[in-house]
Structure 1
């Protein structure tokens, strides 16, 4: 199914913001880069803030959907997690800076980003918790889900800054070993 005009503009905006950053870009300044007019962006998104809200929603929805699919496709949640890291680290070259830029908007309390905690943290954490629940109790699953999200975000941030993917890959492997041992220990108790 071919995406409609709004979805096409949203995809172009995400790609542009990933390349250039959001900064203080206005709809008027953005429109020529997307091959459209300010009027069409206003029609589809209402405002700059409406566009940024749509960007956040789409990126998070795509990310959590892909994560849930990985957990559905892999019998071993740790293998799914390893594949999730690989995809996230590969995608970070294009989308990582945008993710952290929009995260800083949430930290500064920007209205359009105020739900970022709900959309990014809660939905992603829930996807990890769901995978851990099949191996451990609810309380442990919740703690490990939050820890997994924090470690992944921290390693992505470090990789974007120092470009040492090999060090981050090694850290992920060590993290998987530690969490697997924790889950197995919890299951024995």
Structure 2
């Protein structure tokens, strides 16, 4: 309990989606927003401010450390390509909270330089995880649940039914990012009840 993190990012009166930089301290700061370029050098012009930093060429730990060493009180690293991202400080220890944001939100924040920015990394009982490490237990549980209703089906038939009843995401059909889509236990149950095993 308490090992996850929640984030909050506000500039002026606008709330932005954000993720905590892995390794960021749990802390909340409010200060004027300042442009810190790509964060490749110390610049005391950001002293007492929240650094807005574009992703690219310099690792995240260096960007945040340069902000901190410049007197910055918080860091926001925004993407240099479309979409959101996660970042890590690795083994570098910093004392200022650091967040990531999308390219679109970064551009919007850049138009708000000088306005009050709040950067918050807060302890939470929940954490965000993704990838196969999280998909596997969820799909396994759905398969076990459906199979418990149809114990005469084979494992391969249950898998086929789960594949065919998944909610398609991304590119139509099976793709490398989403596979067959989002597992739907009730839809798989209904499919097997109506069509039989492995349909």
- TM-score, structure 2 normalization: 0.29
- Give the helix-richer structure, 1 or 2: 1
Q: Which has the higher contact order (CA 8 A, sep 6+)?
A: 2
- Give the strand-richer structure, 1 or 2: 2
- TM-score, structure 1 normalization: 0.30
